Structure 1
Amino acid sequence: MYASTGGKSSILAGLISEGIADPIVDETLAAVGMSSDPQEAVAVATHGVRIDNERHFDLVRVLVTAAALDETAKETLTRANRSYREALGVVAGRLEDLDALGQGMLVDRAADILWFFLGHHSWRLYVTDSGWSWNDTEKWLAEQVSAALLSDRAD
């Protein structure tokens, strides 16, 4: 089987590519783009990211572990993270379009903050390591993102 597929790393890369192409990403970004309220945009983004993480949670966990030992897995994780961060950049851009970012907040900084709170590492920390439910994690992370990014005008 490995001879025909290119080995474990190639199989993993193929599965991750399917995860990156999950329609929830485009659906979430479209919904964020339609949001006229910054709080709603954050809630929609957080929910979409939650669904994506929940669907691919085990696969990402395997990839993170494999990336420590295998160069192809590391490259796959880097590519997946870049795609993830680009999507979060779209969310940050929408918040900027809504004039909702805190004073002096740049889109790139907002995208970094979104990655900090909504990256796969945060879901793993709360859901797996701390035993939080997906619902509790989603609610708390959305609150933290709003507090960190949104200006007082966005309330």
Structure 2
Amino acid sequence: MSSKRAYISPLREQAAAQTRALILQRAAELFADRGYGRVTVADIAAAAGVASKTVFASVGSKGDILDRIVGQGVVASGYEQAMRQVLALRTPEAVLEALARGTRVGNEGQFTVHEAIRKALPVHEDGEVLWERATATYRDALRTAARHLHTLTPPPSGSVEETADLLWFWFGPTGWRTLVVENGWSWDRAEDFLRRTAAATLC
């Protein structure tokens, strides 16, 4: 007795992927604007122009949606390519300039995702775990940059761990948000300031 293989339409799969992407985009925007706790699946469905059951079938619950947003944010940050460029540089000044530029691009491009995650932390049942997951790769990249800086001439004073902490202080998401969101600086001004501050301290 022969069994028929289920046919999967490429066009249907493409449409489903586009629907998922739209749902996640609208959800991130709503979470960033209103806060995770004030957004319902019905709100997300309305913003994406689909039924609530489509949201559940395509992406899952509100918690599942946030998890996907975090995962996409890590992938979309482009940190791997940026770190390859950083590790190829041979002067501390060039490394810090690249870090300022790379983290600016990542934070500016992923601003909505970062805000969605940040506003979810106070009400999410695993907020601390969520933030660690969202920032672990980011911190690891800056630790790698710190180790690289200590191989260059002149190396920073202090330990690699201290340098990594300082890089996180300057170039981590909180530093960018403080200057751009809380103080109203432009991204250009923030990038220039953070680069100069880091260079003056470490070089």
TM alignment of 1:107-126, pairs within 5 A? 107-126=160-179
Residue 98 (structure 2) aligned to one of 44, 50, 64 = 44
- Displacement after TM superposition at 1:20 (Å): 1.1
- Displacement after TM superposition at 1:120 (Å): 0.7
- Displacement after TM superposition at 1:118 (Å): 0.8
Stretch deviating more after TM superposition (23-32 or 134-143): 23-32
TM alignment of 1:94-105, pairs within 5 A? 94-103=148-157, 105=158
Larger-Rg structure: 2
8 Å CA contact 1:42, 1:142 repeated in 2: yes
**Aligned position for 1:8:** 62
Q: TM-score, normalised by structure 1?
A: 0.88
**Aligned position for 1:87:** 141
- Displacement after TM superposition at 1:77 (Å): 1.4
| CA distance in 1: counterparts of 2:131 and 2:60, whole angstroms | 17
- Displacement after TM superposition at 1:92 (Å): 0.5
8 Å CA contact 1:49, 1:118 repeated in 2: yes
Q: 1:85 to 1:62 in 2, by over 3 A?
A: same
| CA distance in 2: counterparts of 1:16 and 1:57, whole angstroms | 12
**Aligned position for 1:53:** 107
Q: 1:54 to 1:23 in 2, by over 3 A?
A: closer
Identity in percent: 29
8 Å CA contact 1:13, 1:73 repeated in 2: no
| CA distance in 1: counterparts of 2:159 and 2:153, whole angstroms | 11
**Aligned position for 2:76:** 22
8 Å CA contact 1:85, 1:115 repeated in 2: yes
SS of the aligned residue for 2:123 comes to coil
Stretch deviating more after TM superposition (139-148 or 45-54): 139-148
8 Å CA contact 1:66, 1:74 repeated in 2: no
8 Å CA contact 2:150, 2:156 repeated in 1: no
Residues 1:148 and 2:148 are matched in the alignment: no
Q: 1:41 to 1:27 in 2, by over 3 A?
A: same
Relative contact order higher in (CA < 8 Å, ≥ 6 apart): 1
Name the one with the larger helix percent.
1
**Number of paired residues?**
149
